[in-house]
Structure 1
């Protein structure tokens, strides 16, 4: 009788928690459906909600025997209009004013406040401003230290607390707000695995967040969200500094010319792959499924493209927070991934910079496993470095089974392309560790008995630790 092995996919799925999915029952269903990472969006969340969500996630994971990692997405700096008593209707050519909260309007034209007192200093006459996620375009025609006068370029209605985008303008806002810091304290106490930092503009933003996490004693890894022109312009220095990147296409699609978005996505994915850093494609992947049980053909193509580019993960936002079909959205993701991945060329990642001798050994392991066919790579890692390099090599068709002795590293590896992590104590005798790992894979039906696996490990030879590449068979 042939043993049925577990299904395996390389591309990871991220689901955002919200009213539609925050109960323990729905979390259990999401985990069983195949979600690898849970995202906590802190734009409107409370600290009590974070505690409850983390408890439910960990409880559900323990009960079903499948663990997920948790990403906290902090709100970051943002510019918004203030409250209005009634919506303001604007036609093309109408004048409009934005003034700081401690200043009175001129009174001769419609006006709103802004939460950012430095806004007048950051813009120039001629600057184009986008309000309400880009729906309303306006041009600065005059300004002083407290007020901006704008001409309406596209008509629309301005309500309370609408988002303001300034394409191409470097805004002098802090990378971490007081709210972000409070949220991070709550997240670290609850045990988050990743922090996604919004509107990363330069590498120093990552360093500032890392210093803050270090001060809290957190081992959480950092995801840089690229969502404006400064982030795109400085992508290489940001990628070098961060642990992972999220292509946040919502704001990014407003901040840059919309027709350039696919090109920027491709460039960011390629840059991350060359640097060996995980990359997430996020926002609007299955937006229709917030209210419809099936995606559009364009959305299917969009997800397919992210998989073909070999992003590490694809992310669901509104689809699983307020959507009517969260589980169906996850299933659509899985179906597309499972259909597209086998069609991708099996060439390894030639752009990855290999600098250490061990990296070349990992390259050999990837080639060997691919050539064997129906094989896998087994790796033992204490800091996830070996697993990260193997994932970055992109050995399509080869599961990477990574064993780690600590919970934080075990969960963080859930983000990596093609990596299925396991939590296991390492023995003093490397051979005992290998045998225990192979038995785990056999008992859990991850690989068929009789098949060869490539094992990357070290052995003790005459008192010295020697790095080895071994070929073992699942008994």
Structure 2
């Protein structure tokens, strides 16, 4: 018994030592709490406790506590002091059952759970029935013109509609928002609007365009019968090339069209084709096409309007986006000047005449890179090493691309994880877009947050717009710098009432290495949980399902793991409604087995029971 008491006393001393160290850290860092919002004072204090606890290796202590059947502090990040004080009391009680003194923490374990739930509701809105985790969905341009699509997403379980300011225009954004509000009213839902600021992301520049033609193809069954006609959006002008199904026509002609009107034309292959008007809206019409058709700039449309034939010519169609085909061992020139990129040129015998070249959206990187540094294109689909650097360009040797070669398109991300880029914060476009966001959205997502000063700049802009009480912020952590300063970033962000974090796993994996991303996403979940800051689990969740209609097994496992967050983000795709429904089902099912980071043990059930 004496030996056992000595072991318990040793554990008590260890726990008391940790408690005193955390209290001292709280005192030393009290200046960081001065400007924190009132509703986050306790949360910020707990974050300081957790971050200082993690400066020590407590694995030996954890094993000893586990052997006694006590909390190992592994899931205590949201209530560090309460857990430590409870452990201290229990250990002392084990030594002397007559002890009654029990020091309480500023908030209990149960209170910490309520704080996080309250903040998640404030940021993301009401949760869906039987589901704690919200679903955020990136909106395609089509959502501006197809109300039924938006309604189907809200009905399937979308809690937040995400609009990316890097694409489309304010006119398109407003139409999407109006459709979300319309769906909310019809379905009695409260789907929130979140908007991403583009941020200083480095992207590939333009590439010499292809022909101005678009192929429209209906979906057919195994017998060749049309089960879903191709939908063509007739508009006066295409405001963004991401409106993939848009065809520009004269406004006067468009205004005369009616539902069920038929339009005939000869496509670029001299095939006779017809369209049937399905829906008329303000400034647009949606037409069904039941045969494959190629429509180009200048294609002649004929419609029977009020008993007479009226012929018009299709306006300026977007050019087909070209790409550079790159293989391992190829060389690519990245240049400062804005000239459109071109693929490599070969002679008839396959000898290289000119290397592929492309520009970038932030030309200053040409003067920042160094030979030997890595460069990633398009979320790591193409990897290279910088070989030579010149005042106006640098040359990359491709070290990884798929065996058949990878296509590099315009406006694809460039990551330079080993380069000191010295670029962050809000761009002038971001500041201008923020004015629209403050008027029309519930939450603004800030991209590429690298340090606390980035957050300070955002808060100043929001306060200048007098939107600090209305607008929530979600900080997208996409870089190694952002991860390494996450605690400081959160303490700065908590000056506002509504704060969240998005784990942007795609860029993070490239920046920190694929071998680190599993650890990093778990660390971020823990740090944010310590701060009672809601988390968005993002990047390629159910990506195959949304784009191709069939999920992979690994996607299902990833979606199940996302139950540890407060919100999961889906990207756009033709099967997005199906993806929302499946994610809704997975999250509802997994919440029986996982409460945030704590596994739960419901009664075992056979499949199908």
TM-score between the two structures when normalised by the length of structure 2: 0.52
What SS class does the counterpart of residue 456 from structure 2 fall into?
Answer: helix
Which of 252, 260, 271 in structure 1 is aligned with 2:516?
260
- Note the C-alpha offset of 1:139: 1.4
Q: Deviation per CA, 1:181-217, whole angstroms, max 9, x where unpaired?
A: 2222122222x11111111111111111111111112
RMSD (Å), alpha carbons: 2.9
Q: Deviation per CA, 1:438-473, whole angstroms, max 9, x where unpaired?
A: xxxxxxxxxxxxxxxxxxxxxxxxxxxxxxxxxxxx
Matches for 1:216-227 after TM superposition, within 5 Å: 216-218=465-467, 219-227=470-478
After alignment, is 158-167 or 80-89 more displaced? 80-89
- Note the C-alpha offset of 1:260: 1.9
TM-score between the two structures when normalised by the length of structure 1: 0.65
Contact kept in structure 2, 1:21 and 1:326, CA below 8 Å = no
Which of 354, 365, 378 in structure 2 is aligned with 1:132?
378
- Note the C-alpha offset of 1:89: 4.2
- Note the C-alpha offset of 1:226: 1.0
What SS class does the counterpart of residue 431 from structure 2 fall into?
Answer: helix
Q: Deviation per CA, 1:49-106, whole angstroms, max 9, x where unpaired?
A: 122122222232123222121110111112223233375444444433222117999x
Contact kept in structure 2, 1:14 and 1:315, CA below 8 Å = yes
- Note the C-alpha offset of 1:32: 2.7
Contact kept in structure 2, 1:206 and 1:222, CA below 8 Å = no
Structure 2, gaps ≥5 residues long: 1-127, 209-321, 342-352, 494-498, 603-609
Counterpart position of 2:113:
none
Counterpart position of 1:301:
557
Counterpart position of 1:313:
567
Q: Does 1:65 align with 2:321?
A: no
Counterpart position of 1:28:
151
Matches for 1:7-46 after TM superposition, within 5 Å: 7-19=129-141, 21-22=143-144, 23-46=146-169
What SS class does the counterpart of residue 516 from structure 2 fall into?
Answer: helix
Q: Aligned pair count?
A: 339
Relative distance call for 1:154 and 1:53 in structure 2 (3 A) is same
- Note the C-alpha offset of 1:291: 3.6
Contact kept in structure 2, 1:210 and 1:222, CA below 8 Å = no
Counterpart position of 1:251:
507
Contact kept in structure 1, 2:163 and 2:194, CA below 8 Å = yes
Matches for 1:391-406 after TM superposition, within 5 Å: none
Which of 81, 97, 101 in structure 1 is aligned with 2:333?
97
What SS class does the counterpart of residue 151 from structure 1 fall into?
Answer: strand
Matches for 1:267-306 after TM superposition, within 5 Å: 267-306=523-562
Q: Deviation per CA, 1:244-273, whole angstroms, max 9, x where unpaired?
A: 100112222322222322211111111100
Q: d(CA) in 2 for partners of 1:216 and 1:255?
A: 33
Q: d(CA) in 2 for partners of 1:15 and 1:167?
A: 28
Relative distance call for 1:157 and 1:232 in structure 2 (3 A) is same
Counterpart position of 1:232:
483
Q: d(CA) in 2 for partners of 1:108 and 1:292?
A: 37
Contact kept in structure 2, 1:195 and 1:220, CA below 8 Å = yes
Q: d(CA) in 1 for partners of 2:417 and 2:597?
A: 38
Counterpart position of 1:166:
416
Relative distance call for 1:336 and 1:162 in structure 2 (3 A) is closer
Relative distance call for 1:9 and 1:163 in structure 2 (3 A) is closer
Contact kept in structure 2, 1:87 and 1:159, CA below 8 Å = yes
Relative distance call for 1:157 and 1:332 in structure 2 (3 A) is closer
- Note the C-alpha offset of 1:345: 5.3
Relative distance call for 1:53 and 1:91 in structure 2 (3 A) is closer
Matches for 1:303-342 after TM superposition, within 5 Å: 303-307=559-563, 310-318=564-572, 323-342=573-592
Q: d(CA) in 2 for partners of 1:49 and 1:265?
A: 34
What SS class does the counterpart of residue 342 from structure 1 fall into?
Answer: coil
Counterpart position of 1:457:
none
Contact kept in structure 2, 1:170 and 1:230, CA below 8 Å = no
Counterpart position of 2:447:
198
- Note the C-alpha offset of 1:109: 4.5
Relative distance call for 1:138 and 1:280 in structure 2 (3 A) is same
Q: d(CA) in 2 for partners of 1:396 and 1:189?
A: 45
Contact kept in structure 2, 1:81 and 1:162, CA below 8 Å = yes
Q: d(CA) in 2 for partners of 1:104 and 1:346?
A: 48
Which of 390, 394, 397 in structure 2 is aligned with 1:144?
390
- Note the C-alpha offset of 1:168: 3.6
Relative distance call for 1:55 and 1:179 in structure 2 (3 A) is same
- Note the C-alpha offset of 1:171: 2.0
Structure whose alpha-carbon radius of gyration is higher = 2
Q: d(CA) in 2 for partners of 1:163 and 1:304?
A: 28
Q: d(CA) in 1 for partners of 2:361 and 2:596?
A: 51
- Note the C-alpha offset of 1:46: 0.6
- Note the C-alpha offset of 1:347: 9.0
Relative distance call for 1:68 and 1:127 in structure 2 (3 A) is same
Structure 1, gaps ≥5 residues long: 1-5, 350-394, 398-475
Contact kept in structure 2, 1:247 and 1:268, CA below 8 Å = yes
Counterpart position of 1:450:
none
